[in-house]
A = this chain, B = another copy of it.
């Protein structure tokens, strides 16, 4: 069975970098989005906050049945002590069937052990988030660096199934994180409704293979008048930028 990273890399080889954030919480709505966009994306990212359990399961099952080649990143931002993280791993990977998940760094590597040992899955650690107030703690000075940079340095050494999250609204920070984490996948939310700058994201975020980015748009696509057209436009914009890097 192919791992999360295998699936993701296959999509990058097809020049697909868009991840659609499913922030609506209704399966029938998601189904329509998926039917319109599956040939253009590298991943889908349902956000757990918006779903009742049964609807989320239907959306994940629909993607897995119809498009088993598209990885599913559950945006859940989990993070508890090890004993509890075992339960999240079971719920998210084994019961629900997601391919990857987002997690908080605050409790450290030891607490995330249950996630890190799942080599078949992807674990995306929050490094620099897309919200306006992200800097309150993330930009604190720790010696000669900022906290988000220290987190990125640690995560780089936590294992082979790791990725990091950096908001599209912070392209300069994305550049610094790319320098720190090498070729690791970076999930970049905040394109679209949150106003992230696509060109700067791509130029600053690509890895040495000119891949490595999961560019995520949620409200900008799913609530567009024509979601397929919005996805196609974003795809074309990305191809245009890629030609010039």
Contacts and interface: CB of A to CB of B under 8 A. Distances in A.
A106 B105 contact: yes
Which of A52, A78, A84, A147 has the most chain B CB atoms inside 10 A of its CB? A84
Interface stretch (A33-41, A131-139, A198-206, A237-245): A131-139
A: interface residue count bin: 35 or more
Interface string A157-194: 00000000000000000000000000000000000001
Interface string A93-132: 0000000000011111111000000000000001001111
A107 B84 contact: no
B133 A84 contact: no
A151 B129 contact: no
Q: How many copies does the complex hold?
A: 2
Which of A106, A108, A126 has the most chain B CB atoms inside 10 A of its CB? A106
Given A49-B87, A77-B104, A147-B147, A111 B129 contact: yes
A10 interface: no
Which of A53, A104, A110, A143 has the most chain B CB atoms inside 10 A of its CB? A104
A25 B84 CA distance: 12
A66 to B, nearest CB: 25
Nearest to A77: B80
Nearest to A52: B53
A13 B134 CA distance: 39
Interface in A71-98: 75, 77-85, 87-88, 91
Given A107-B133, A110-B133, 14 more contacts: A25-B87, A49-B85, A49-B88, A49-B91, A77-B78, A77-B79, A81-B194, A83-B219, A106-B129, A108-B136, A109-B133, A110-B132, A137-B147, A137-B151
